[in-house]
Amino acid sequence: MTLTNKPPTARSTLSQRGSSALGDRVFSWWTLGTGLLVLAILGLILITTVREAWPAFDAMGLRFLTERTWDPNPAAGDAIFGALSFAFGTAISSLIALLFAVPVSVGIALFLTELAPRRLRGPAVTVIDLLAAVPSVVFGLWGILVVAPAMVPVYQWLHDVFGGIPVLGSIFGPVSSGRNFMTAGLILAIMVTPIITSITREVFSTVPRADKDAALALGATRWEMIRGAVFPHSFGGVVGAVMLGLGRAMGETIAVALVIGGATNITANLFAPGNSMAAVIVQQFGESTGTFTAALIGLGVVLFAMTVLINVLAQTVVRRAEARMKGSVA
């Protein structure tokens, strides 16, 4: 008995096309809805926090952004809430973190994708991922118990060497303790390194093998191949990884609160104690009431705005840089 495959009828073909079109429409609406849901959540977060922080904004006005004094319980007069000192501490500690973390992260990612033996890549990636899973309070306790005391002699040596040099003497100023901007930046650098490394490694692995082989075939050294083929192709992704690490550094709370010193301070001295917006929120929120609570929520609004602004600027820089790399005029 011979079995033959019957050709599909016109009715079955139309039915399949109809179900396929329906599935495409459902999938399209579902993805659109999830995307709009993310934007709606962000919008609701912004609206809610601004509403809760409005008493402080109304009381201080623009001085909330320009005032460096933070005195919720003055001996006389009205309370003063100024976010400038905490914004400064957030920016300084985060920049220190990126200064140390970005070169190390890019170097590790290049090693894992271009140089490391295959048998070493798996264990190295596992260790990096485990480092990213360590709770932030553990980093904070390690920082205050081990890193801060151990770094005091190093800070003192740097002050002795550079203290008499103009500008550098202000940056590497007197050392009061190990809890300062520099220690907070070092702890943040360790915390964001696994994040930047993992994303950068994935970005580097997307570079076409043909581009690398073509560069090597033309006589380029390995470094010239990386500079000419890997970096231009991966620039946008690397900047995205750095921005994600910066967001983690700016929003870190408990680890920074333990090691930054807890002082309301604006100074060029990296060895001086200070504070960040996220850290002061976690330090003082439990004892706050009324306008004091609104001011702390206002710090969260300012931190949110800073993060959005930095990401928008980063995207602009990436677009212009990629346009130049492709030979077009930005």
From CA 57, how far away is CA 291, in angstroms rounded? 9
From CA 27, how far away is CA 274, in angstroms rounded? 50
Task: Centre a 10 Å sphere on the Cβ of residue 140 and count the other Cβ atoms it contains.
Answer: 24
Angle, alpha carbons 141-251-287 (nearest 5°): 70
Residue labelled with tokens 């002082």: 263
Tell me the CA distances in angstroms from 289 to 24, 274, 280, one per residue in order. Answer: 52, 24, 15
Pair 306, 95: CB distance under 8 Å: no
Nearest to 263 by CA among 255, 140, 271: 271
The fold adopted by the segment(s) 70-329 is: MetI-like fold (1.10.3720)
From CA 198, how far away is CA 88, in angstroms rounded? 29
- Containing 197, the helix (H) or strand (E) segment is helix 181-204
Residues in the chain, overall count: 330
Nearest to 277 by CA among 87, 98, 131: 87
Pair 288, 94: CB distance under 8 Å: no
Tokens of 146: 């081990």
Q: 80 - beta bridge partners?
A: 71
Mind giving me the DSSP string for 124-178?
Answer: HHHHHHHHHTS-HHHHHHHIIIIIHHHHHHHHHHHHHHHTTSTTHHHHT-----S
Output the tens digit of pLDDT for each of the chain's 330 residues: 455 555 555 555 555 565 667 778 888 899 888 889 988 998 898 899 999 999 988 888 888 888 888 888 876 677 888 889 999 999 999 999 999 999 999 999 999 888 888 888 888 888 888 888 888 899 999 999 999 999 999 999 999 998 888 888 889 988 888 899 999 999 999 999 999 999 999 899 888 888 888 888 888 888 888 888 888 888 888 888 898 889 889 988 899 999 998 888 889 999 999 999 999 999 888 888 888 899 999 999 999 988 888 888 888 877 777 676 665 434
3-state helix, strand, coil in the chain (%, to 5): 75, 0, 25
